[in-house]
Amino acid sequence: MILVVSGGIGAGESTFCDLLIKHNFQKESLSNILRELVKKEGKEIVRKNLRAKADSLRLKYGKAALAIMAWEKIKNLKGNWVIESFMAKEETDFFREKGAKVIGVVAPDRLRYERVLKRQGRDTFSSFEEFLKIDLKKRDIGIDSIIEDADFIIVNDGSLEELNEMVTLFVESIFSSHEKN
C-alpha cells in the first residue's frame, strides 16, 4: 500500500507520516529528495535553494518530476509506504495511477504558525503575516488542489496523543477496507 501525504506548513504532515512508521510503513519524502539534490550541488539547504531546485526540475521534467524520482526509489521495494511533501496535484495524480491513496493533513492557520515557531528549525518567520504569505505561495503551487481531491482528510487540531489515536484508527480503517477489496 502506498499513501501520499500533503499539507500546509506546520499542519503536521511529517508527524502524521512518522506515526505511520509505528504501523509498519516505510517513509520517503519529496523534500528529502530535494535536499539530497541541493546538497550534491554544494549549495546550502535553505528554503530558497530548495524552491529553486524544485522549480527547475518541474520546468525541465514536468510538474510530477519529484514524484517520479520518489517512485524510482521505492518501486521495487516491498512493504507499505508513506510519502510526504507533495505540493503539485500532478505529483499525487502520478502516484494515484500507481494505486496510492492521497491524504491531506489540515490544521487552523494560527495553530500551524504556533507549531512552526516552536520548531525553530528550518522554518522561521518574522510574523504571522509573513507565515501566511509564504504558506499561500506553497498552497498556490497545488496543495489546496491536492487537499480538495484527497481520499482522506486528517484534521490535526489537537495534541500529539490525539493525532496518534487518529493514526491508529486510520490504519485500522484502511487495512480493513483494503482487505474487503
| Amino acid occupying residue 13 | E
Q: Per-residue pLDDT averaged across 74-98, rounded? A: 94
Give 33: exposed, middle or buried? Use CB within 10 Å, 0-12, 13-18, 19+: buried
**C-alpha dist (Å) from residue 131 to 22, 33, 59, 151, 161:** 31, 24, 26, 27, 26
- In order of start, what are the domains of the chain with their CATH numbers? 2-176 (3.40.50.300)
Q: Per-residue pLDDT averaged across 12-29, rounded? A: 96
C-alpha cell at 161: 496523543
Buried-exposed string 96-114: b where 16+ CB fall within 10 A, e elsewhere: beeebbbbbbbbeeeebbe
State how far the Cα of 107 lies from the Cα of 12, in Å rounded to an integer.
Answer: 8
For the cut 60, the answer to whether the pLDDT of residue 123 exceeds it is no
Q: pTM value?
A: 0.89
Alpha-carbon torsion 104, 109, 113, 115, what sign? negative
* Contact indicator for 66, 34 with CB cutoff of 8 Å: yes
* Contact indicator for 25, 80 with CB cutoff of 8 Å: yes
C-alpha cell at 120: 525553530
Of 13-17, 124-128, 143-147, 157-161, which range is least confident? Answer: 124-128
Q: Per-residue pLDDT averaged across 140-158, rounded? A: 93
| Amino acid occupying residue 125 | F
